[in-house]
Structure 1
Amino acid sequence: MSTIVRRPPLLFPATARHTATVIFIHGLGDTGHGWAGAVENWRRRQRLDEVKFILPHAPAIPITCNWGVRMPGWYDIHAIDGNPESLRRNEDEAGILLSQAYFHELIQQEIDAGIPSDRIIIGGFSQGGAMSIFSGLTAKVKLAGIVALSSYLLLSLKFADLVPKPEVNKETPIFMAHGDSDQVVNTKLGRMSYDLLKGMGYNATLKIYEDMGHSACPEEMDDVEAFLTERLPALGSTEAKPEL
């Protein structure tokens, strides 16, 4: 396999003291810039001033369902036809594990910079959401939360065997969201993934948005902001106050 060339992620520094980090991962064919507007939206009410946002860019790789044309992707996909089984068939395990290692590296870089792992959230949309579930639940450090929009559980047939022991993220809240009209990552696959996670004992919730396809909506963005704010509450300044 040729060497993967990665661009540095798009960064939104915390506007106050940096105490938490959100890594948000885009979907197939997109870049981190595609979610810059969403980050601005989440920051607009100034509830996330202590949060640094990292928006990674996927490398350009050949995508089988796109006739092998190279495009930004976290792993190869053989078919996108709305069939919930298609995305589970012939999964690109090598590509998934390569991206997983990259996201674990990004998490570790934040820890090395002084951010506790339980003040880090990983999330994403479509392929990015799928990588967030997979990378988050297989991390060896306890995270604050996982966000998975319009996505699904990768390598579901062998997932339980890929999770390291002890499972430090067994209780980590997972916010899953899906449109009821999604014809790309079929809503049925989203529900199936949620059921699988719940069946394995994970702390997942699923919200379905009416008349939403493979996209996002303002209500969903507000729900994500609420999840981030709940899981990453502001800590305030740690500077000692002068004695009176």
Structure 2
Amino acid sequence: MTRFPLYEVMELNARFKGASPEAVLTYAAETFGERLTFACSLGLEDVVVFDLLSKLPEPPRIFFLDTGRLHQETYDTLAALRERYGLPVETYFPRHEAVEDFVNGYGPNAFYESLELRKSCCAIRKLEPLARALTGADAWITGLRSDQAATRAGLERFELDNAHGGILKINPLADWSLEQTWAHVRAHQVPYNKLHDQGFPSIGCAPCTRAIAPGEDIRAGRWWWESPEHKECGLHVKIAQETR
């Protein structure tokens, strides 16, 4: 695992300012090879990245975090992507002992009771599996966009991921709008989660996701009982970066 100095990340952002997602992904694949991976959540943005990666001569390893509490439509999306593109997708599950301890100690829906318990549930079902999935990686790709949430404002194409040993985090759609994302899906007939057609712009675990009303923020349906600044599971938390 390679730790990237912040100045190199800043240089990459300057170099690829205004570049297309295809250019970013081509650079990533050519530079990191087998030490590059894509965390596919099967949301709208992620299926776009999946489609773009399928066009590379050698697509990177792709993985999916199955929390055990997902919608059936999410599994249907995974099956459709596998059939359409023929690319393997590795699935990572939470440690069953940790899930059992949490549920036995606090109940199956304890995440509604407090922010601390919700974050604990996310840590068990998402963060620990993510850490395993990133083992040996020098860089990982996400489908994040800067206008998805207040917590993602100012998102860059390249970030230093100090939460996972200082590896590189690559966000090829960082400056795309929701309209651009949908346009790509429609133009290329990319399989997508049908919950998007039912008012779910952002989709996570079934108990923690609801449809939104017209005019609501696109992340309003995620952990809707919490304030906007808390609406992250921890997968994309930022840790202070050193300047050297």
Higher relative contact order (CA 8 A, sep 6+): 2
Structure 1 or 2: more helix by fraction? 2
* TM-score normalised by the chain length of structure 2: 0.27
